[in-house]
Amino acid sequence: MKFAIASESRVGGREHNEDRHGAIWSAQSLLLVVADGMGGREYGEVAAQIAVDVFLENFRRSAHPQLLRPAAFLQRVMAEAHEAILAQALQNRLHEVPSTTLVAGLVQDGKLYVVHAGDSRLYLLQGDRLRYRTRDHSQVQRLIESGQLSEKDAQTYPGRNHIYNCLGAMIDPEIEVSEPIPLQGNETLLLCSDGLWGPLLDEEITRIFHGREPQLVLPALMNVVEKRAGAGRDNLTGIAVTLLGEDDVVGSRDGYVDSLYVSRAGFDQLPLPHGLRPALR
């Protein structure tokens, strides 16, 4: 696989950043994860970090260099992350179990697999169109689907952050794994917390990535969101990946990867060391 990748997380207008994210790849598989610790709960950032760590560690154990059953892997690891959060709460005798949303995307064999709980999102963009977007597990999403609320009006709806599904709740999460999505080449994936997508319409996200490098777009997009959201803005986190064609040449610039050139350990992950990838001829 050849791809350009960028990631960034900002605290926004909050005291602490409860978002966490990770990206890891082998020679033949790529895993991307974003988790948003629940605001107003104890140790939301702990829940988010546990969930991301569980995903990355399971990938290291299982991708050699491929996962045998990608969809089953995502289903199993999501449940394991939930149990790990509950175990941490029990071990530390927390008054309230910390919780987090999570979205993960796995690219392997020309297909995209997605799992999520809550309202952290994955977008699959091709050219100037939106091919796929996760469905939020939120009350606002239900109102939109029933025709009672428009996407634009949802941006200012009072209960727009109320979700009914997450990791770390006292009831087991609804683990939603997508059907495998065939990739067509030269597509962009964006995984993000609601602090990033909240002030934007889907069409804005689709348009801004069209024909542009994720390393340039993601910081600019975050600047726009911070300005639009104002002083009370949420934490905002995103991972953007453009999947390059097989004939594209990967240069030595930061953020460009040819997965055939992974480290001796068999894996690489963000952040990329400077000059990690040599230019290919």
Query: Are 214 and 4 in contact, with CB atoms under 8 Å apart?
Result: yes
Long-range contact set of residues 259-265: C-beta below 8 Å, sequence gap at least 24 = 259/1, 259/2, 259/3, 259/25, 259/26, 259/27, 259/28, 259/30, 260/27, 262/25, 262/26, 262/27, 262/65
Query: Are 244 and 204 in contact, with CB atoms under 8 Å apart?
Result: no
| Tens digit of each residue's pLDDT (9 = 90 or more) over 222-273 | 999 999 988 778 999 999 999 998 888 887 777 899 999 999 889 999 876 5
Helices and strands, number each (H, E), in the chain? 7, 13
Q: Is the pLDDT of residue 281 over 60?
A: no
In the chain, the amino acid numbered 123 is Y
Domain assignments of the chain as residue spans, ordered by start: 2-269
User: What's residue 40's pLDDT?
Assistant: 55
Q: What is the mean pLDDT of residues 153-176?
A: 83
Q: Is the pLDDT of residue 39 over 90?
A: no
| Tens digit of each residue's pLDDT (9 = 90 or more) over 187-223 | 999 999 999 999 999 999 999 999 899 999 999 999 9
Helix (H, G, I), strand (E, B) or coil at 190: strand
- Only one residue has tokens 């140790």, namely 43
Instruction: Give me the chain's average pLDDT, please.
Output: 89
| Topology, domain 2-269 | Phosphatase 2c; domain 1 (3.60.40)
Report the range of poorest mean pLDDT among 30-44, 100-114, 198-212, 221-235.
Answer: 30-44
User: What's residue 21's pLDDT?
Assistant: 97
The whole-angstrom separation of Cα 165 and Cα 45 is 17
Report the range of poorest mean pLDDT among 55-69, 105-119, 205-219, 260-274.
Answer: 260-274
| Tens digit of each residue's pLDDT (9 = 90 or more) over 79-99 | 999 999 999 888 888 777 789
Pick the closest to residue 81 from 115, 124, 121, 114 (CA basis). 115
